[in-house]
Structure 1
Amino acid sequence: MILSKSTFIDKILIYTRPWALLAGICVVLCSCSNAGEEGSAGLVEQDRITRSSACAVKDSRPVLIKAGQFAMGSSAVYSEEGPVKTIMLDAFRMDPHEVTNEQFAQFVREAGYVTTAELPVDPKVYSADVGSIPSELLLPGSAVFRQPTGGSPNDSDWWEYRPGANWKMPYGPDGPAAVANHPVVHLSLGDMQAYADWKGGLLPTEAQWEYAARAGGPAVTNQPSNANTWQGVFPIHNEGTDGFEGIAPVGCFEPNAWGLYDMIGNVWEMTNDLYLPGHDPSRPKVNPRGPSHAQARNPANPAFGIRVIKGGSYLCAPNYCRRYRAEARSGHDMGLGTSNVGFRLIYAQE
């Protein structure tokens, strides 16, 4: 199921119930089709952001990813991951970990930036009559995962559109503030691109991301032991045997063979490619990019394009979301920030 704010709005118009908007959000938040996490106006105050003493990345400088080739995609788990094709890529540099709250806070302070989740929802974007949408769903906010009581199988029970939730207050105004060395979440594509412009980087293509995540290794299907994922039956019980039941600070697990942390699990990561269920077999073999706007397709709502996200999150479990793999992919609404999606950047080779 692919979650998007547009789907959320559509269902509100159909059912006229506040929780219906959540069903749309869940398409992006769950991002698993059989598998999220937990944002106020103005510049962030540094003392509002705490720091976890656990885990530490030794070096945050971009890592050189050498040119090479690999077999992109998989036919082993989900159909949208294929067909497999040998891809060749030029060298690039990549952030060793997801962009953190601390890094994003510096951007906000220097640029005076306000994120999408800190602004009221504009119903005109969704061709909706403002009177048909519950007022609380037009307030600034974002979607937060909530573990359902009784193990409800309905994904609309797993997510809540929470006014006041944003990157600084990831669980809403009544929850704890963002942790400095946690991945920044609750950002829209526009927020990520604004940070990338400020930083002098780009969002990776899906091919670049998958190549870097594989790090020269083979495709895998098993749940990894060195990543922040869901242990137990989702969404009923998370055993937390990896040491975390929610988002972890960056760098808590060993990096892959190329020195990149948390490419798998923790939070999904945004790419620069539009989404199409399955790879285009005719895509270029060298430095491929995703489909054009005309070719891209959002199965949940064809009127709104979505971007490819990769790597899975701490909500992925064997019984629901086996997307804790480099080849795994899903779609994400470009205008909706959620609590289980972050990003990292790539840069030109020096």
Structure 2
Amino acid sequence: MLSICISFLSNAQKIIEIPINTKNTSLLKLSQIAESVSPIYLDRKIDWLQFLHFTDQSIFACGRTEIYQFTTSGEFVKKVDCKTDIQGITGNSDTKEIYIAARDNTIKCYDYSLNKKKEYKTQHIPNALFYHNKHIWIHSFVELNVGIGYTISKINIITGKETFNNLNAYNLNSAPKSTYGAVSEANFFTYNNELLIAPTMDSTIYKIEGDKISSFFNWRIKPKEGYYYYKPFVLSFKGITGNYIYINYILRNSSDKYINNRRCFYLENLKSGEKYNINNTEEGPIYDDFYHTGYFNIISLSNKPGYFYFIKEAAKIKQKANKINTNNKIVIFIVKTKE
């Protein structure tokens, strides 16, 4: 049996023991967790599509260095080149601004028409960001002699001042050599009005309060005989969407001559207690039984709690999709989760 222990910190720490069978290959269908699914057809292909941000009027899509603007129905509007690698996107609906985390140690600010307004300088290289309560929260990395170190900071959008959090409880900095030069990504999001961050190469989701950071969820994975748990990997995405916490993890078979990875996916409804633990496919752990486009991975919509999305290229789903216009280049599926 595989046991995942999740520590939930609210007023007091509560340990939840979850027994799971590692041979469980049960299918997780989208209809089991989704209230509705809405496809959006983009009329232009984007190379290296990696980040999306939605507003009431527009979809902002990031390629490697470029930002594309579409209408909410998928019609192309505008494109601008940031001249450097894009590391993330977030937005401020009050001022109608979007913020881009850039590889050149800046946060670039654009209005909703993609006119550049200003830049904020960051001390380190940002690789995740999130607008919350008049501040831009940033997860950054710095290359050290012993490996990779990390910081969590916030920028005041009025003064531009960057202040840093106390990271005594942040596991990634306790043994920077463990990353072996790989850079952990991170997801910011809110749950019950609390600001959280989930680094990909850690088995913890953290809560941010003022300048302090503390463990919010923590899990330990104990495989049955013949398997061992592989440390969190660079693309080990996790987070909370609606009432669902999701965790990607890897098991390895120690008896194989060549290391065999088994990607697994754990999902729990924090409200109802309903749990899923399944073996992942190459495309992802969840099957789209709304439009039958295959399997996919959850990508959270950080500025829309309770929603996530997945992306399909029309050319790859043309033969199997149901009720989908495959004449367009890219289809984005917006999913509203069940309560």
Q: TM-score range by the shorter chain?
A: under 0.3
- The normalised TM-score by structure 1 is 0.25
Task: Specify the structure having the higher radius of gyration (Cα).
Answer: 2
Structure with a larger share of its residues in helix: 1
Question: Which structure's relative contact order is higher, taking Cα pairs within 8 Å and 6+ residues apart?
Answer: 1
Q: TM-score, normalised by structure 2?
A: 0.25
Higher normalized strand content (fraction of residues): 2
